[in-house]
A and B are shown apart, each in its own frame.
Chain A
Amino acid sequence: MRISEHPILKFKRGKEIKFSYEGRELSGHEGETIAAALHAAGVKVLSRSAVLHRPRGFFCAIGTCSSCLMVVDSVPNVRVCITKLREGMVVAEQLGRGSLA
């Protein structure tokens, strides 16, 4: 899913870092958002809706629509479309409104 060649843009990707998603080890790049790293790894479902548990992905990617809320390092309701990926992060799908453990 990553673009390697582009007629106009050059992507300066940060160093590769590892994180965990639903128990799987994935890698992304320093400087990118959690949502971008997940998308590059083919993960589109980020959470499940509160009542019908329908799958949810991101929509706006600028932190305004709240469609991308995930549990990151045990903290629920993290807007992964604007939160930067860090080495060793533990990222999990959020069910509904989320709760503090």
Chain B
Amino acid sequence: MKTVDICVIGGGPAGLNAALAAAQGGASVLLLDDADYLGGQLVKQTHMFFGSEKQQAGTRGIDIASTLVQAVQSIPAIDVWLETTALGLYDDSVLTVEQQGRYRKVKAKRFIVATGASEKMLAFKGNDLPGVYGAGAVQTLMNVFGVRPGQRVLMVGAGNIGLIVSYQLLQAGVKVEAIVEGSPQIGGYLVHASKIRRAGVPILTSHTILEAYGENAVEGAVICELNRAWQIIPNTARRLAVDVICLAVGLSPLSDLLWQADCRMLYTSELGGHVAWRDENLRTSQPHIYIAGDVAGIEEASSAMVEGAVAGYAAAKDIGLAPMDVEQRLLVALEQLKELRSGPVGEKIRLGIAEVQSVRGDIDGRHT
């Protein structure tokens, strides 16, 4: 059994920062990821980030990933296990993992769960046809492996992911026929939307997909208009000849491990689904488990990175290893998080977190 002070599960933006912060806090760290590389979804992001300079605004996601990965690899106190899937997290602070066919155990004083999120599906006829892909899958295929997902794409969803992936498709030489968005407004940043529109891609708000058709794979889509009550307006259905339907309709926190570990879970629509109760330092109702990043609530990579730092410093402080300045670093990270969420864009997240923290995380709601 591997013994370590702090074990971080997930090597994306939140997990990488959690590992760095925990190590700065004086802890020995084990960082796990089920993929064979570190960086999570950051390695697929070719666009420059927003936010403030502290969160590397103006830098492309791929470059942020390599900076973080290099930092992690240069610190001897951080051990990295790749191709390692977390299986179960138990009350005696033991984690079981599967590592390339081997079953292993890890004992840690604290765990930071930074497992991220998974793509949401949308119900429509033919949604199981090959060619209906999640936006993340399209990014993987074209930005990691350099393979075009198809020739002509219908993007479903005009949030930031839908807009950014549409732009990335154009960069890869793929035609985006249209973006449909059920809501009357574009959800993502207008700067992204303008780039897409300038490239000639129509963004059809108050539109949705009704059907994907094709024999063995997508050959086209039927789209239609919606009224303000999200009902289909009759006689507005029309066909679009596309071979890819890309779904960018949101993410769900990948919280299986937290359920299994019996953390108190709450459904909070503002945070994207079921999330664990947590205190302001991201500690869950299970005192040895912290959370950070999308698993704590669907947000952005910038805030995921700061959450990772908060959880890392807090966990290190918690086990009493912390050098003098950790308290200060924790306060700075908490302040950055507050700043990131201060504007109108952060309102939903603020509401969601307030809702989670309005209940008690310890005794009530947990079975005895």
B216 at the interface (CB under 8 A from A): yes
Could you tell me which residues of chain A, from 54 to 97, have a CB within 8 Å of some CB in chain B?
Answer: 54-65, 67, 81-82, 84
Assess whether B128 is in contact with A60, with CB atoms less than 8 Å apart.
no
Size band of the interface chain A makes with B:
35 or more
Q: Give Cα A33–Cα B62 distance, bound, in whole angstroms.
A: 20
A9 at the interface (CB under 8 A from B): yes
Contact of B137 among A2, A32, A44, A61 (CB under 8 A): A61
Residues of A within 8 A of B129 (CB): 54-55, 57
Q: Give Cα A45–Cα B128 distance, bound, in whole angstroms.
A: 11
Assess whether A39 is in contact with B118, with CB atoms less than 8 Å apart.
no
Assess whether B131 is in contact with A57, with CB atoms less than 8 Å apart.
yes
Assess whether A11 is in contact with B146, with CB atoms less than 8 Å apart.
yes
Assess whether A60 is in contact with B147, with CB atoms less than 8 Å apart.
no
Residues of B within 8 A of A40 (CB): 145, 147
Residues of B within 8 A of A62 (CB): 35, 118, 136-137, 140
Contact of B171 among A8, A60, A65 (CB under 8 A): A8
Residues of B within 8 A of A3 (CB): 142, 146-148, 172-173
Q: Give Cα A59–Cα B34 distance, bound, in whole angstroms.
A: 18
A48 closest partner in B (C-beta): B216
B337 at the interface (CB under 8 A from A): no
Assess whether B118 is in contact with A65, with CB atoms less than 8 Å apart.
yes
Contact of A36 among B36, B118, B145, B216 (CB under 8 A): B145
Residues of A within 8 A of B119 (CB): 59-60, 65
Residues of B within 8 A of A1 (CB): 147-148
B297 at the interface (CB under 8 A from A): no
Residues of B within 8 A of A2 (CB): 146-148
Assess whether B60 is in contact with A54, with CB atoms less than 8 Å apart.
no
Write the B62-98 contact mask toward A (1 if CB under 8 angstroms, else 0): 1000000000000000000000000000000000000
Residues of A within 8 A of B118 (CB): 60, 62, 64-65
Residues of B within 8 A of A9 (CB): 46, 62, 143, 146
Residues of B within 8 A of A81 (CB): 137, 140
Write the B114-158 contact mask toward A (1 if CB under 8 angstroms, else 0): 000011010000001111111011001111111111000000000
Q: Give Cα A2–Cα B46 distance, bound, in whole angstroms.
A: 18
Could you tell me which residues of chain B, from 168 to 185, have a CB within 8 Å of some CB in chain A?
Answer: 171-173
Residues of B within 8 A of A49 (CB): 128
Q: Give Cα A33–Cα B121 distance, bound, in whole angstroms.
A: 23
Assess whether B147 is in contact with A6, with CB atoms less than 8 Å apart.
no
Residues of B within 8 A of A60 (CB): 118-119, 134, 136-137
Q: Give Cα A11–Cα B141 distance, bound, in whole angstroms.
A: 12
Contact of A8 among B46, B128, B132, B173 (CB under 8 A): B46
Assess whether A33 is in contact with B130, with CB atoms less than 8 Å apart.
no
A23 at the interface (CB under 8 A from B): no
Q: Give Cα A62–Cα B147 distance, bound, in whole angstroms.
A: 16
Q: Give Cα A58–Cα B142 distance, bound, in whole angstroms.
A: 14
Residues of A within 8 A of B149 (CB): 39
Q: Give Cα A86–Cα B333 distance, bound, in whole angstroms.
A: 44
A36 in contact with B130 given A7-B171, A82-B35 (CB within 8 Å): no
Could you tell me which residues of chain B, from 23 to 55, have a CB within 8 Å of some CB in chain A?
Answer: 34-36, 46
B309 at the interface (CB under 8 A from A): no
Residues of B within 8 A of A45 (CB): 130, 216-217
Residues of B within 8 A of A15 (CB): none
Interface centre among B60, B134, B148 (most CB of A within 10 A): B134
B20 at the interface (CB under 8 A from A): no
B210 at the interface (CB under 8 A from A): no
Q: Give Cα A60–Cα B41 distance, bound, in whole angstroms.
A: 12
List 10 A-B pairs, minimum CB-CB distance, nearest first: A57-B130, A61-B137, A11-B146, A36-B145, A44-B130, A61-B140, A44-B217, A3-B146, A40-B147, A8-B46
19 A-B pairs besides A8-B60, A54-B128 with CB distance below 8 A are A3-B147, A3-B148, A3-B172, A8-B171, A9-B143, A11-B145, A13-B146, A40-B145, A40-B147, A44-B216, A44-B217, A56-B128, A57-B131, A58-B133, A58-B137, A61-B137, A61-B141, A62-B140, A82-B34
8 contacts across the A-B interface (CB closer than 8 A): A40-B145, A44-B217, A46-B130, A55-B217, A57-B131, A59-B121, A59-B133, A61-B141
